[in-house]
Amino acid sequence: MCTMSAQKTVGSVKRSLDIVEALKRLGGARISELSEYLNMTESSIHSHLTTLKDEQYIIKRGDTYDIGLRYIQMGRYAKHQNPIYKKAKKKLR
């Protein structure tokens, strides 16, 4: 799932983002499902999930992982940084 770029990238960050995208597409998943879907080892996926969970980007319910609420905070921040949103907000007032 990782795509190559002409610029230098960090592979582990790309794999974490692949995992997050897979969780979104699958509507949540167990480690074994992610391993099969992404063709990654379960131990590697577990390490990424543990880090993402510790940082509250994903949640764990039983043995299923899913997207966490931290992304809402990030989305709000991104929205308020968007110049189009800022202009539209002023006009709507």
C-alpha–C-alpha distance, residues 76 and 73, integer Å: 5
CA triple 81-2-77, angle to 5 deg: 15
Residue 14's identity, in one-letter code, is K
pLDDT mean over 84-93? 77
**pLDDT tens across 25-68, in order?**
999 999 999 999 999 999 999 999 999 999 999 999 999 999 99
Q: What is d(CA 61, CA 15) in angstroms, rounded to the nearest whole number?
A: 22
Q: Which two tokens stand for residue 91?
A: 């006009």
Contact (Cβ atoms closer than 8 angstroms) between residue 12 and residue 20: no
pTM exceeds 0.85, yes or no? no
pLDDT above 70 as % of the chain: 94
For the chain, list the domains and their CATH numbers: 11-92 (1.10.10.10)
pLDDT given at position 80 = 87
